[in-house]
Copies of this chain bind each other. A is one copy, B any other.
Amino acid sequence: MQQRALELKRAGRRIGFVPTMGFLHEGHLSLMRLARERCDVLVVSIFVNPAQFGPTEDIEAYPRDFRRDEALCEREGVAMVFYPSAENMYAADASVWIDEEALSGRLCGASRPGHFRGVCTVVAKLFNLVLPDLAVFGEKDAQQLRIIERMVRDLNIPVEIVRGPIVREADGLAMSSRNKYLSGNQRENALCLRRSLDQALALFGQGEHDAAVLRQAMVDLIECVSEAEIDYIGIVDERSLAAVDEIKDDVLIALAVKIGNTRLIDNAVLHL
């Protein structure tokens, strides 16, 4: 992959990159379309990264369908699908890791220790292998996106990070490879994530700037839903991800909710 990327760079080609864990959906495809518009050669990686799964998280159960993914990539004009094995990505005695220490402890990082270390490390590795001019990351993973942007800034990585908007099903559920785990009832219950965000946005629109009030309204809504268990609801500064009490600047509302055994995330930004 790196050899091919070096050849493309030498030939003056502009490489766009969308890193994924596969099991592609419309969300991923929208990122590919964003990248394709702005590059000569589009590369997609498919790698279910063991380093970002915790010991209690079942990486084997993560959904995979490479044939289908490959066909979808071809249809989107992807020039190369990079599909490495875990053995090729990580030496048995691998000992170098990248840590982001300001944004990573909160939100998802609080319930998934080590997750963002795994994310940062694999993204840096993929950047070094694919050598993209630009890479697109989805806004659904709001914390990941900001951590990647911070890593690019702090390590001077010569890659432009492009934010891809959340893509939703017709009823508002944010697209996720994990949605496939949901039973019919759970699929309906999963709408509580988006509905609670809408509720907070509506209250904010009515002039409510107290984060505790917004959060309580979200909690009340979600707690009425069977099988829904809140992991966190964060109302945080859009850039530092520090919790805010009163909304005086752009904030990110991010939440993670387990529906049965499936952990789903969603978020919205409130612009002042």
Contacts and interface: CB of A to CB of B under 8 A. Distances in A.
A97 B94 contact: no
A113 to B, nearest CB: 15
Given A124-B155, A125-B155, A128-B158, 18 more contacts: A2-B158, A6-B158, A10-B12, A94-B154, A95-B101, A95-B102, A95-B150, A96-B98, A96-B99, A96-B100, A96-B150, A97-B98, A97-B99, A97-B101, A98-B155, A99-B99, A121-B155, A128-B157
A41 interface: no
A151 B93 CA distance: 12
Given A9-B9, A10-B12, A12-B10, A154 B98 contact: no
Nearest to A97: B99
Nearest to A121: B155
Interface centre among A103, A153, A156 (most CB of B within 10 A): A156
Contact of A155 (B93, B128, B153, B158): B128
The 7 closest A-B pairs by CB, nearest first: A95-B102, A96-B154, A128-B156, A95-B101, A125-B156, A96-B151, A96-B100
A102 B6 CA distance: 30
A124 B124 CA distance: 11
Contacts of A151: 96
A191 interface: no
Contacts of A93: 102
Interface string A239-267: 00000000000000000000000000000
